[in-house]
Every structure is written in structure tokens, then in C-alpha cells.
Amino acid sequence: MEDVKKLEEFQAKIDSEIKIEPKDWMPEDYRKHLQRQISQHAHSEVIGMQPEGNWISRAPSLRAKVVLLAKIQDEAGHGQYLYSAAETLGKSRDEYIADLQSGKAKYSSIFNYPTLTWADMGAVGWLVDGAAIVNQVSLQRTSYGPYSRAMIRICKEESFHQRQGYEIMATMAKGTPEQKAMAQDALNRFWWPSIMMFGPHDSDSPNTGNAVKWKIKRETNDELRQKFIDKTVGQAEVIGLTIPDPALKWNEEKGSYDFGEMNWDEFWNVVKGNGPCNKQRLNHHKKAHKEGIWVREAAIAYAKKQKEKQLVA
Amino acid sequence: METKDALINYCLRLGDSSLILGQRMAEWCSNGPILEEDIAMTNLSLDLIGQARTMLSYSGVVEGKGRSEDDLAYRREEREFYNTLLSERPNGHFGDTVVRNFLHDAFFYYLYQALKSSKDEMIAAHAAKSIKEVTYHLRHSSEWLVRLGDGTVESHEKVQESLNDLWEYTGDLFEMNEVDEVLIKEGIAVDLQKIKLEWDKTINTVIERSTLTRPEDAYMHSGRLDAMHSEYLGHLIADMQFLQRAYPEAQW
Amino acid sequence: MSNTDNQGDVWEVFIQSKPGLPHKHAGSVHATDKEMALQNARDMYTRRQEGTCLWVVPLNAIVSSMPEENESFFDPSDDKIYRHPTHYVMPDGAKHI
């Protein structure tokens, strides 16, 4: 009885756009959904450092190097903001990291694709960050306070990321024939995985129902995907690259682009762990984590000694 | 030796040391012991590469042959790099990096303190800007050295070993030749033996706080002044220069 | 995860964006000691010149009111409209008051 009343009050708050804060009562499913979604988002930021990190040492100019480094650093920061938000739901970062490493928690599949050429730094910034931004802008209005605040900060910082990627693509597209070929190849490889970042079609997405009712998600997968495609097609045209979708066509009537069907077999395969880099990414994370154990233990031991000294003094 | 030639070389020394250490610190990205530290190390890298850009550009300007920061970073070979031997040491484990950086940060700290009054305006301005960054770097590496030295038995042993291993590259930091002589006379460069005295004090203080033991001065490697290096540098720059070398005609 | 290994404590971060303004909550960092907390906050939250002063506070040092106390804590001020200047009727023509 009590819970039914609480649930009604909770839904009334959501419906009148009052944010939910950590200490407020919330249905267990809401908490679980947020723990899963926010930590998945955090893991994606952190794992996402790897494919771009792959090119820092080889960045072709010092300017390109600092820009890429600053961008990856932001991603680490965003991972940190998101873990912080997720921790307010009563689960520690240690536990979230353990879930990631055991495979219980997922991260965005896009980071299981390899970055093979410098143009991939362009494609990742332009397409992957571009898709992420569409999602994140929408999530600024999410119903959970700490998540919404993290998203607002992230969106503010992300604004240069997509430009950085697009600038690389534009420069290469008007460069030597080899550079242009690299740019087109990067677009070919990253286009479909990028539009699949929005997840399955609404009709096949089991989590969408509650997430929309609770205003965790403010727009559905298909709505967000359409937004991304509509704003990206023109950008490709401006720099003279071709989007690898023969079915892509402006639809005057609905005022947006029609596009081809995505390869969902590939999508689920990568989600299940069979992407080109799934094992590599996770092993990299585990290795760094393991190599850090003695460092973290030392810092904890040092802090403990300091506290004891203070007590004595 | 002409002042101009000495100055070109002096800028390369400063710029190359920052560049190589910055490149090393960038290797830590996504490999740090904790997320916050990953971000901290990236910050160090960004500061260092920023410093390198200023000094390499200036070296190019003094030279007057139209070489840019990128020409100098990407189109020189091993025997043309004048970075400190310490800066090119591999990252190793986190303790190795902390020790390497600590020894190097303290060097940069006193060097830039002194170079703030260089008669060369560009170098003085560069030092005034860099000293703010390096002050923070030294604080960061010192605090970590203390945590690791005075942490667990394992961390103490590890970091003492790092210190013992890296010590033989510290002599190289303070070596001088004709370049220094010419520039000291002009009030542009500073006497590194004086820097060494200050460096020693800081090193001793922090080592003591860390409950570590300062290694005995034994054989010291040298190489910086003659662009002599360990084998590690070749791999570092091959990696760094790959795109510029593979596509010499391309603009990026 | 071994027994002695963890991600450190949570510290809340407050930033003063310029002198004269109050410190505002920015987020949190993990750290094992206060110097590390301060440095991590600096590297995490002031990369874009966001601040001139930083505070870090261990999360467990913060005392928060609880949502279930909201009625008794905050509603009693609902009817004290005399605390607001607009409650008072000023004669026409009165200035600077």
C-alpha cells in the first residue's frame, strides 16, 4: 500500500518535471535502470579512450597531438563525472568497474572497432562524438538530478570534440589522393556502426518503455538516430565525401532522410563480444587496473599512516 | 662559436626535452592507476608539449631557414635531438615514471626559475610561463614519491629500485659545453652547476620525506650535449614521425 | 579486487569561479588523501579556467537534511511572507527605500 502511494507521488514528480535526487524515494527498477545506463555510459567514455589513444603518439603535427590528447582527457573526465553520478545510486565505483571487467556491464559497441588510419580520428570525432552528442543533448533533461547535471557539464565540454574530428576529415578530404581515400575509407567503416550506436529500433528495444515513462530517456532510439542522420548528411556533402548508403534519400514529405536497413546481425555479434576489438579493449582495461593495484594500495597505506600520526600528535 | 648557433642549439635542448617527456607522458593515457591520475598525467603531457612547441618554433625563427615546430619535431633524426637522457627513459611502472619525472621536474623547476632573468626576451618569457606549469609538476611528482616511498613495503622497495636505476642519468642534466659558455657570457643561459646545488637540496628533502635513500653518485651517463641517445629514442621518434615520413607531401 | 585495493574515498568539490562569488558545488573526485583530492579536483574541474579557489570536502563529512523531513524543515517558512520586502506597503512617492 505504502509503495503504491510512493510510486504515485514519484510518477507525479516525474510528470511535473521535478528532478529526482539521490536521497529521494525511487522505485527499485528506476534505480537499477539508472545504475545500468549511467555506468554503461561511464564505461563507454573510459573504454572510448583506447581507440583514440591508439593515435596520440602518431599524431601528424604537434597541434593535432595536443588537440587529440585534450579531447581524450575530456573523455576520461566525462567517465569520471558519470561514475560520480552513478555512485549516488548506492553502488561504488569499485563495484561498477568489477561489473565492467567481468562482462556483466556493457559499453558502447562502437569502441570495439579498430582505428586503422589517422582519418579514423576524424571519423570518430565527427561521427561517433556527433552521435553521442545528439544523445547527450537529449539526456540533459533526464529526470535524475546527478545524471542531468553531469550531462550538462559534458555537453558544454564536448562542443569542440565533433569540430576537431570534422576538421581532420575536411583537411584530409581536400588533401592528397591518398588522404582523401583514407577519409572515405574511414567514413565507410564508421558510418553504420555510428548509426547503430543509437541502439535497436524502438520496436525491438525492451528497455525503452519504462525509460520514457520515467523520463530517463527523453527521446527514443529511432528519433535520435533520425536527428543524427539529418544533420550529418549535409556535412559529408560539404567536404565531398560519400555516405555509404545507396538507400539514403531526402524524403520531402516527412522532412527528413530515408535510409537503408542496418546490419543487426553484426550489431548483436559485436554486443555479444565478437567485435574486432572486444577482447583487446577489456584486456587493456584489466591490465591497467591490475598494474595499478600496488599504487592504490600504497596511497591508501600512506593515508592511513598520516591519519594515525595525526591522532598521536 | 656564434651566439646565434649557440642559441639555436639551446632552444632545441629545452624544446626536445619537453617534447620527449611529453610524448612519454602521453603514453600513459588510458593506462593510469586510477582515472583521476590518468587525467593528471595527460595534463602534464599537454603542458610539456606546449612548452616544446614554443621552444622549437623559436629555434626555427632564430635559425631563419623557415623551419616550423613541426619540421623540427617530425623531420629530424636521432642524432639531431638534444633532449636529456632522462626524458627518454621508458615509462616502466608507475613508480619509474614518478621518479623520472620528479628528478626531471626539479631540474626544470630551478632551470626555469633562473631563466626568467635571461637576457633573451623569448627565453625569459618562456621560462616565466613554464615555471607555473613546472611548479605544479614538481608538486605532483613529489607528493607521489612520498606516497610510494612511505606507502607499503612493496611500493617502498619498488620506488627505491626506480631511484637507483634512474640515478645514473641525472649527471647528464647538468653537463655544459661551449654552447653554455657562450650564452652564459651573454646573460642568456645559466650555469647548470648552480642549478645543481638547488636541485640537490630539493631532491634530498623529498627523498627524506619519502623515507627513501639517495643513491651514491657513481658512473653517470652523458649524451645530451652531443645528441647521443639510448636505443629507446629511435623507437619513440619513429612512432611519432610515422605519418610525416610516410606522406611527406601531405598537409594535416 | 584485493582487500586493500580500492578507488579511494569520494571528495566533493566546490569551485569559486572568481573572487567575490560563493563556492559552488562542481562534482566529486576520488582520492586517498587531501593533497591528492585537491590536485585531482584541480586537474578534473579547472581545465578550462573555471576557478580561482577550490574546496574539497570528504563526502562523509557532509551532513544532509533528508527528503522525508522536507515538510517540517522547509514548509514552515511558507506563510512568513513578512520576511520579504514586497509584503510592505510604501506610501506613493517614497524613494530609495
* Partner A contacted by B152 (CB < 8 A): yes
Looking at residue C79, what is its pLDDT?
82
User: C20 exposed, middle or buried (CB, 10 Å; 0-12, 13-18, 19+)?
Assistant: exposed
* Residue of higher predicted confidence among C50 and B93: B93
Tell me, rounded to whole angstroms, the distance of Cα A222 from its chain centroid: 17
* Phi, psi dihedrals of residue C30, rounded to the nearest 5°: -100, 140
Round the average pLDDT of chain B to a whole number and report it: 98
**Which ipTM score applies to this complex?**
0.97
**Cell numbers 612520498 correspond to what residue?**
B146
Burial class (CB in 10 A: 0-12, 13-18, 19+), B240: buried
Q: Closest Cα to residue B111, out of B87, B81, B144?
A: B87
Interface test with B, best of A67, A168, A302, A306 (most B CBs within 10 A): A302
Which domains are assigned to chain B? Answer: 3-246 (1.20.1260.10)
**B39 to C31: CB separation less than 8 angstroms, yes or no:** no
Closest Cα partner for A114 from A282, A284, A280? Answer: A280
CB contact under 8 A, B35 and A66: no
Quick one: DSSP state of residue C47? T
Flag whether pLDDT at B197 surpasses 70: yes
Does residue C1 surpass a pLDDT of 50?
no
Of A58, A62, A73, the CB nearest to B42: A73
Q: Percentage of chain B surpassing pLDDT 70?
A: 100
B50 touches chain A (CB under 8 A): yes
pLDDT of residue C84: 87
| Residue B146 to residue A302, Cβ atoms within 8 A | yes
* Best to test chain B binding among A55, A65, A287 (most B CBs inside 10 Å): A65
Question: B88 is written with which cell numbers?
Answer: 627518454
Task: List all chains that touch chain A, counting a touch as 3 or more CB pairs closer than 8 Å.
Answer: B, C
Q: Minimal Cα distance from C46: which residue of A? A: A77
Task: Write out pLDDT tens, residues B114-145.
Answer: 999 999 999 999 999 999 999 999 999 999 99
User: How many CB pairs (< 8 A) connect A and C?
Assistant: 55
C1, C36, C64 ranked by CB distance to A94: nearest: C1
* Cell numbers that stand for A126 in this block: 565527427
Question: Nearest by CB to A300, which of C4, C64, C66?
Answer: C4
Q: Which of B37, B38, B143 to mutate to test the interface with A (most CBs of A within 10 A)?
A: B38
**CB-CB under 8 Å, B150 with A295:** no
Q: Label residue C3 by pLDDT band (50, 70, 90).
A: low
pLDDT tens track for A67-90 = 999 999 999 999 999 999 999 999
Domain architecture of chain C: domains with CATH: 9-87 (3.10.20.520)
Nearest residue of A to residue B98 by CA position? Answer: A295
Q: pLDDT tens across B138-164, in order?
A: 999 999 999 999 999 999 999 999 999
Report, as ranges of residue numbers, the positions in chain A whose pLDDT lies below 70: 1-2, 206-208
* Contact indicator for A154, A81 with CB cutoff of 8 Å: yes
| The residue count for chain C | 97
Q: CA torsion sign, A64 to A66 to A70 to A72?
A: positive
Is the Cβ–Cβ distance between B158 and A294 less than 8 Å? yes
Chain B nearest CA to C43, separation (Å): 6
- DSSP-assigned beta bridge partners for residue C57: C12
Q: How buried is residue B197: exposed, middle or buried, by Cβ count under 10 Å (0-12/13-18/19+)? A: exposed
Amino acid, res. B205: T
Kindly report the backbone phi and psi dihedral angles of residue B235, in degrees, each rounded to the nearest multiple of 5, phi listed first: -70, -40
Q: Give mean pLDDT, residues B50-57.
A: 98
* Set of chain A residues whose Cβ sits within 8 Å of the Cβ of B52: 62
Q: Taking the CA atoms of chain A, what radius of gyration do you get in angstroms?
A: 21
Cell numbers linked to A125: 570525432
Confidence at residue A206, expressed as pLDDT on a 0 to 100 scale: 67
